[in-house]
Amino acid sequence: MLPHDLSPWGMFMNADIVVKAVMLGLAFASVITWTVFLAKAVELWITRGRTLAALGRLSEARSLGAAAEELSRLRGPGVTLFNAVQAEFRLAGDASPDGLKERVASRLERGEAATARSMWRGTGILATIGSTAPFVGLFGTVWGIMNSFIGISKAQTTNLAVVAPGIAEALLATAIGLVAAIPAVVIYNLFARTITANRASVGDMSAAILRLVSRELDRNAAPYAKAAE
């Protein structure tokens, strides 16, 4: 008869205090992974829906005034970019069109960068868990096997019934490390692809706003050009 209960819970309860700490830390990391997954998945899904909705409205607008009216009832990064452009128009006054275009492009560029930072926020913990969890689990395994060999030395026997429980407890730490790491890596890669697609949509929104600004400035400049002739 084996001297220990070799169920996962039994092995956890009979493990060394260091191995227990490692297992609990990895279990907590796994909880963090799934919490981030749920929260970030909802956030990215909402962001993408809002961006596409704003892009559809903006594509149909013929002027900045019409676009402002269409986007007034929407939210999201696309609307934030458009509001920044409107703010620049108010600050510019009667500035030259070329200078205004440069400042609008600068605002759009910084707005895209801020949106990208916001979308990536919170995903770094997934990369950290995915890269470190296997090694943390391996540390628990090494510690547990070391204690098993010390126990073998003290018992002065190599009977498998004596050796197996300690080694099984140690290997459980590696298994929990993999359980924590694999989902973290998969979810991080999934978010990376989703964020790339969202950034492309935000870039399309920025380009649409810039085209609308260019048309607006050209329309405003046309009467002055005819008067000069």
Q: What pLDDT was estimated at residue 162?
A: 65
Q: What pLDDT was estimated at residue 100?
A: 77
DSSP structural state of residue 159: -
Q: Calculate the alpha carbon distances from 225 to 132, 219, 228 in Å.
A: 65, 10, 5
Determine the distance from the C-alpha atom of residue 77 to the mean position of all C-alpha atoms in its chain, rounded to a whole number.
Answer: 16
The amino acid at 164: A
Q: Where are the domains of the chain?
A: 8-56+81-221
Other beta carbons less than 10 A from residue 139's beta carbon: 16
Q: What pLDDT was estimated at residue 106?
A: 84
C-beta pairs of 115-119 under 8 Å, 24+ apart in sequence? 115/77, 115/80, 115/81, 115/199, 115/202, 116/195, 116/199, 116/202, 118/77, 119/43, 119/44, 119/47, 119/195, 119/198, 119/199
Query: Helix, strand, or coil here: 68?
Result: helix
Q: What pLDDT was estimated at residue 222?
A: 45
Q: What pLDDT was estimated at residue 218?
A: 72
Mean pLDDT per 10-residue run, the chain (229 residues)?
59 77 91 94 90 84 79 83 83 69 84 88 91 90 81 68 72 89 94 91 87 77 41
Q: What pLDDT was estimated at residue 228?
A: 37
Q: What pLDDT was estimated at residue 8?
A: 67
Cβ-based neighbours of 90, under 8 Å, separated by 6 or more: none
